[in-house]
Amino acid sequence: MITRAYVVDITPNKAKIRIPTLDGFDPSASGYTPDENLSWASILAIPGIEVDLRKGDVVIVGFQDSDIGSPIILGHLKSSISKDATKSIATLSDLNVLNTTRLPKNTTIGNLTYDQLQDAISVEPINNSDIDLLFE
């Protein structure tokens, strides 16, 4: 299961998260989990990418071995709650592909669209659908 959650507290390597479908969102509703009983989630770290989570950020969470007691933050969404959403902007210099990679047409990397990627790296799509990249 992959779901949306909200950051309640943060340390350098983990974040305490509220998953509305599991922990509730309304303190007056039954089934609401108090903040002190929420799960701590590991944060997926990609080399060269700075993760700047803050309280209130919306994150996407997966679960190790489908265990809801072992959440992992896979990424975070730009949110009106976030004070600085510009930290997640990627540039072409951030793109480093070591193997053949297929990008579907709806691909975006940071603020780069599929068309911008195609233009910038001068590759042609196969069968007018996906682009195959081969870097060595």
14 contacts 58 by C-beta, under 8 angstroms? no
What is the per-residue pLDDT across 6-62, written as a single tens digit (0 to 9) for each?
Answer: 999 999 889 999 999 889 888 888 889 999 999 999 998 877 777 788 898 999 999
* Claim to verify: residue 66 and residue 99 sit in the same structural domain: no
Closest to 16 in 3D by CA, of 83, 75, 73, 77: 73
* Claim to verify: residue 45 and residue 75 sit in the same structural domain: yes
**Residues whose CB is less than 8 angstroms from the CB of residue 46 and which lie 6 or more positions away in sequence, other chains included:** none
pTM: 0.56
* Claim to verify: residue 99 and residue 129 sit in the same structural domain: yes
* Claim to verify: residue 95 and residue 56 sit in the same structural domain: no
Judged against a pLDDT cut of 90, whether residue 72 lies above it is answered with yes
Q: Write out the residue range of the structural domain in which residue 119 sits.
A: 89-133
Closest to 16 in 3D by CA, of 46, 44, 45, 36: 36
The domain tally of the chain equals 2
* Claim to verify: residue 8 and residue 44 sit in the same structural domain: yes
* Claim to verify: residue 61 and residue 103 sit in the same structural domain: no
